[in-house]
Structure 1
Amino acid sequence: MKSELLKKQRKIPVNEMFLTSEEKQILQNIRLQTARWNINNVTRTKAYLDFFCSYSDIQWAFLGHMVSRNGGWNMTDLKGDLISKLMNDETKNVFFSFLERGNWLIFQDAFPQFLLYAECVRRNKNLFYLLPYLNVSLFMQVIWEYYWRFRDRYVLAIAQVINEQSYLEHRIIHSPKYKDKVLNSFQFVLQDFLSVNHILFPFYNGNKITLLGQTLQQFDSLHERIMLGKRLYRILFHHSDQYEKFYHWATSNPHTGSRKDYWKNVFNDVNEGVPGKYSRRLKECQVKKGEPKLYSPILRIAWENVKHPEAELGDWYNHWDVINYLLEDDQDINGQIEGDYCEALEKLELAAMAKNIIFK
């Protein structure tokens, strides 16, 4: 792999005029299908799962689906009962733009790769030389060609974690548009302090829903985001019986963007509360008797679809040493998160109730 990356170190400009009409048609179909599904967080999240159901060897598709669900929940939290009380409308809009742009960017980079792979399978032919025409990193061209030969699912999935997080690094994380208004803002620091930036993976545990997952403390660290992706992959796929539980939950519960999707006893997509009033409702992740559930709207109600400008051009890849991340860790990740998540919800509830004091 290192050898192949070094061979391709020089980037050759691509020009579709040298492609055959058939190759041009393949690219056109991929672009059209990607645009069709890259409408909002709900359509993207569904597309990832639909693809995985057809091509279960592409494990990042399921990881992407589960993480994208969390992205949708974070978007609707901005209009829900708790976090919305800590922000004015302008701040909510900036935070939504940050989440939505990142979700859109990852999809328009990852999904064309999936569609090209599907085309390779249909034709039983390596077509990955077309990836540069889809503005996909040279790194992923080498990885896909490696996968086509050796079928190493782990390497492909972790390479895609590396690729997508590196792809976001300058387009989102270090973008002047978001760095000061989001990553350095008081609200983001507050969320980090309260540990509400959890990635949650629900599954059926008898008659109840249980959560596993991880917490990301340093969102602006590329290394930490990649290592988080590796841990999340391990939680999803390391134990086949646990994976089956995650998959069963995901295919049984369509993504709406509301946290009601996983905890109907705590959240509702209808606002049961009295406008302008909020009393403490939670105790150990249960709503107190007689209190309304927490409002968590569906995405379609919370936010309108966004028309995005084209993705910024440029290849993040510049050195072969990123392949060191592909080494498999033998660390056992149990993913226990429910207690921390419940504690964070209660802290966030107190912060929301104390809003007038905090922001005086």
Structure 2
Amino acid sequence: MIIFKQTRDHMKILKKQLKKAIRQQTDRHNLTQEEENIIQTIRSVTRKQNQNNVTRTQAYFDFYQKHPEIHWALLAHLVSRNAGWNMTDLKGEYLPKLLSTKEQTDFFVFLERGNWLIFQDAYPQLLLYEESKKCGRPLFHLLSSMEVSRFMEPFWNQFWTESTKEELTIALIINEQQYIEGRVIQNKQYKDTVLNTIMFKLQDLFEFNHILFPYTTSVQKKTKLVGGTVHHFSSVKDRIILGKGLYDLLFSVQSRLAQTIEWTKSHPHTGSRKDFWPQLFNDVKETAPGQKHELQSSPCSLKPETQRIYSPALTDSWRDWPHLDAESGDWYRNKKMLHFLKKPVKILSGDIQDSYCKSIEEMELAASTKSLFHKNG
């Protein structure tokens, strides 16, 4: 289990800084030319890397490899992989039989908007840290000039002086979930089209929101899965609790962490679930047109099948989506969020593989039943 080092004096200083941040008004008119150049460069790089789920997911991992002290970058990479898999599922073997074309697009836009927003808020923070290392001095006073919440500056400054890796990671988890809360989760458009309709439909049929962390075992050289499940996606509290649990799951067992990193290095993200289970998934459709896919055994057996489950690459599923600028405004209004730092981590068992395989079987059954219903209707 990850241990969070939080002395009373440390928390007192942090509370004071966060209280000051609430009152602080951002002065964006007093930047040097060098600072303006830094901000413009960071914005340009962020826009380029935020092209689609594949580019942003890879950007997170590239950054982590250069700066492994930033734990959040690896966590974000793996969670972003899962977002990509969910996006391609919408064009895969089963979900097109369960969702209309409009529902598929609505769900994709919901997932893509959240993925895009988090990246355009978090990646500039990572690049500013990288620039600070190059300069040999903290540049985190520039965060507010890049529309980053005032909540984050005290944590980056503390990390710079004390290397509080775990604390910074939790702060970034809190920030990202609060950032998308008003812009996506509570946004009427997405509530009406996705959360209250499509998500409800899928949750009613099977547990759809698995977060999977693949790793390759040292001895058997098999790819296994650990992870967790989002049970109440619309609850910011539950998403933060799950994020902390996933962080603990990822970093608490060093041997498995090394195996996860090794798997990630050798399997570039494409968006297809073939990336982690090529025995079960293929990015080429093997089922003939009009024919329904039938599993020959449990998905967890990973035995060679006559027909693998279709799981396309992201670039074959969706075009790059144009986004409106992020909605302005700072979510941080009071220091209540500090209790998420102090609250003990909810330990996840990590046993996700059987549950995930069961959800595949349930999806196949649901798709098959709907096809039969339409055929007889």
TM-score, scaled to structure 2: 0.92
The superposition leaves residues 255-296 of structure 1 with CA deviations (integer Å, 9 ceiling, x where unpaired) of: 000000000000000001111220422522147766310000
Q: What is the aligned partner in structure 1 of residue 56 from structure 2?
A: 44
Give me the whole-angstrom Cα distance separating, in 1, the residues matched to 2:352 and 2:308: 21
Give me the whole-angstrom Cα distance separating, in 1, the residues matched to 2:147 and 2:373: 45
Secondary structure (helix, strand or coil) at the match of 1:199 reads strand
CA contact (8 A) 2:279 2:303 kept: no
The superposition leaves residues 181-214 of structure 1 with CA deviations (integer Å, 9 ceiling, x where unpaired) of: 10000x3123223112100000002221100000
Q: What is the aligned partner in structure 2 of residue 248 from structure 1?
A: 262
Matched, 1:189 2:217: no
Out of 200, 203, 208, which is 2:215 matched to?
A: 203
Q: How many residues align?
A: 358
Q: What is the aligned partner in structure 2 of residue 329 from structure 1?
A: 344
The superposition leaves residues 36-76 of structure 1 with CA deviations (integer Å, 9 ceiling, x where unpaired) of: 10000000000000000000011000000000000000000
Give me the whole-angstrom Cα distance separating, in 1, the residues matched to 2:201 and 2:362: 11
Secondary structure (helix, strand or coil) at the match of 1:85 reads helix
CA contact (8 A) 1:287 1:293 kept: no
> What is the CA-CA distance between 1:13 and the residue it aligns to?
3.7
Secondary structure (helix, strand or coil) at the match of 1:342 reads helix
Give me the whole-angstrom Cα distance separating, in 2, the residues matched to 1:46 and 1:11: 35
- Which aligned pairs between 1:286-305 and structure 2 lie closer than 5 A? 286=301, 291-305=306-320
Q: What is the aligned partner in structure 2 of residue 20 from structure 1?
A: 32
Task: Report the more deviating stretch, 137-146 or 38-47.
Answer: 137-146
Q: What is the aligned partner in structure 1 of residue 22 from structure 2?
A: 9
Out of 64, 67, 84, which is 1:55 matched to?
A: 67
Q: What is the aligned partner in structure 2 of residue 348 from structure 1?
A: 363
Change (3 A) 1:37 1:279: closer
Secondary structure (helix, strand or coil) at the match of 2:214 reads strand
Over the matched positions of the two proteins, sequence identity in percent amounts to: 43
Q: What is the aligned partner in structure 1 of residue 251 from structure 2?
A: 237
Which blocks of at least 5 consecutive residues in structure 2 are unaligned? 1-13
Change (3 A) 1:58 1:328: farther
Give me the whole-angstrom Cα distance separating, in 2, the residues matched to 1:290 and 1:203: 22
The superposition leaves residues 117-164 of structure 1 with CA deviations (integer Å, 9 ceiling, x where unpaired) of: 001111111110000010000000111111112111000001100000
> What is the CA-CA distance between 1:241 and the residue it aligns to?
1.1
Matched, 1:79 2:91: yes
CA contact (8 A) 1:281 1:287 kept: no
- The one-letter code of the counterpart of 1:104 is W
Give me the whole-angstrom Cα distance separating, in 2, the residues matched to 1:273 and 1:29: 47
Give me the whole-angstrom Cα distance separating, in 2, the residues matched to 1:73 and 1:25: 36
> What is the CA-CA distance between 1:334 and the residue it aligns to?
2.8
Give me the whole-angstrom Cα distance separating, in 2, the residues matched to 1:104 and 1:220: 18
Q: What is the aligned partner in structure 2 of residue 158 from structure 1?
A: 170
Structure 1 residue ranges, 4+ long, deviating more than 6 angstroms after superposition: 357-360
Q: CA RMSD in A?
A: 1.6
Change (3 A) 1:32 1:6: same
Task: Report the more deviating stretch, 317-326 or 62-71.
Answer: 317-326
- Which aligned pairs between 1:172-183 and structure 2 lie closer than 5 A? 172-183=184-195
Give me the whole-angstrom Cα distance separating, in 2, the residues matched to 1:81 and 1:154: 39
CA contact (8 A) 1:281 1:288 kept: no
Out of 320, 335, 338, which is 1:320 matched to?
A: 335
Out of 227, 231, 244, which is 2:241 matched to?
A: 227
